[in-house]
A and B are shown apart, each in its own frame.
Chain A
Amino acid sequence: MASGNGTGDTMISIERDGLAFRFPNVHRDAACRIEFQRTLRIPDDGRTYPLPPGLGRFPLRHFDDFAERLPEDSVRRGGVVMPMHQAEAVWISFLGGLGSNPYPCAIKIATGKVCAVGGEPWEEGLTRDPQNYLVVPGQPWLDGYCVEKGTIRQFVAMPLGEGYSAEEQLTGEAWHGGLQLAVYPMRRNVYEELPKPRLGSRVREVLELFPSDLMGVAPGGRMAQQIYRDAFGLDAWDQQRGARSFVTLANSRQWMAITGERPPTKPPTAHEYAKAELPWFLFYDRDREEVDGAERLGALRTVAGTENGLA
């Protein structure tokens, strides 16, 4: 990545418990917002489920604010910290642009430095084959690892070092944990040649219902979700002006210890939610090409599979 966050080329800030990425030297509209939504953990029983709802945003804090209470190795990573209960699920929401003008961005997402889209180890920059990024607007959210075309396995927080995480299964190490993000804005000249701004359609309801053990992320239940192929091509993205962040996951006990704040309450189970006859969601755009799932990710053991193996 050519420059650090906050150099004028790129800037990441925490705004309303979301990460706002801005690239003022690319274009005044060059920006995107990423949020981490609390959600139901869908059953890990081999069946394919529709999209669960959002139950509000996870809180985010600057990691540096708690540096004196944390190991030096993890402080060096910078970024932000967010609380998750063990076995809690998360989906990641994307908004290209911050005002009323959508701005296309390419976004890389990894857990434990394993790409959640292409399944490869983390490397700087974008690759097309396999595609290791998402394009927003267009891809409104990501709920898990892209294991096959049209199907993901839900992101589920599990303790690092117990064999559950994608990182441990693919690299044999429990070192990074957490989530990693990188955003690359569209090149200014490509953006200016686009047809008039297209507003994204976001039909998934976000319900604001509820007001060392660092965590990794493991694959959970199967869910129907399309991951779209980049229709612009690699040259459209300004890879000299990307910005990235490490998101450390803290379990509820550690979150209280380092921030002094109570973590959000545990979300209801999928069974409790269905019993209350609350809605699930479908999002499907049949006109757009999808990426194939990553074989490496499809071969991972799920949380339930690992538990059965350990029993």
Chain B
Amino acid sequence: MTYFGARTRQLREHLRQNDRRYSLRQVAHRVGVEPAYLSKIERGVAAPPSEATTVRLARELGEDPDVFLAMAGKVSSELQAIIRKRPKLFADLIRRLRDAPDEAIFRVVRVVRDGEW
């Protein structure tokens, strides 16, 4: 069983405890795949699905799409496009931040300024 498959099943089964809409069949229907295929993904028999399906699955199960894509061994095409636009700059930035603590990375992100109100 792959970690992606195991995590998908864990999240779905957890949600199903309180809501029958999270049965294998209904989740497969909502994300647009056959139940048998979703079952194979969960058991690790099939490789993780396409990027679009992985993102739909993440949203369906309340998981962060980027985290889910990473578990599937993928990087979103949106992020790839950002890197391709300025490959040297972003490759350098990512390498420099590789071992930085989370707080240091957050400081690089633009924050919403709070003012007087």
- Name A residues whose Cβ lies closer than 8 Å to a Cβ of B: 1, 4-6, 8, 11-14, 19, 22, 24-25, 28, 62-64, 75-80, 95, 98-100, 113, 176, 180, 199-203, 206, 243-246
B109 at the binding interface (Cβ < 8 Å)? yes
| Interface pair A76/B116, CB less than 8 Å apart | yes
B114 x A62 contact (CB < 8 A)? no
B27-58 vs A: 1/0 string, CB under 8 Å? Answer: 00000000000000000000000000000000
* Cβ contacts under 8 Å, B59 to chain A: 206
Max chain B C-beta neighbours (<10 A), residue from A76, A180, A201, A202: A201
A202:B64 contact, CB within 8 angstroms: no
Say yes or no for B112: interface residue by CB 8 A criterion. Answer: yes
* CB <8 Å contact, A113 and B117: yes
User: Which of A25, A64, A113 contacts B113 (CB under 8 A)?
Assistant: A64
B99 within 8 A of A: no
Contact B106 A22 (CB under 8 A): yes
Select A100's contact among B64, B109, B114, beta carbons within 8 Å.
B64
Cβ of B19 < 8 Å from any Cβ of A? Answer: yes
B interface residues with partner A (beta carbon < 8 Å): 7, 11, 14-15, 18-19, 21, 59, 62-64, 67, 102-103, 106-107, 109-117
Check A78–B112 contact: CB distance below 8 A. yes
From known contacts A77-B115, A77-B117, infer whether A99 and B11 are also in contact, taking CB-CB under 8 Å.
Answer: no
Q: Are B114 and A4 in contact (CB under 8 A)?
A: yes
CA distance A243 to B112 in the complex (A): 10
**B64→A5 contact, CB < 8 A:** no
CB-defined contacts of A5 to chain B, threshold 8 Å: 111-114
Q: What separation, in Å, do the CA atoms of A99 and B113 have in the docked complex? A: 24
Q: Are B62 and A200 in contact (CB under 8 A)?
A: yes
Check A95–B62 contact: CB distance below 8 A: yes
Q: How far is the CA of A24 from the CA of B114 in the complex (A)?
A: 18
10 smallest A-B Cβ distances: which pairs? A78-B115, A6-B111, A78-B113, A12-B112, A77-B117, A24-B103, A77-B115, A5-B114, A201-B18, A76-B115
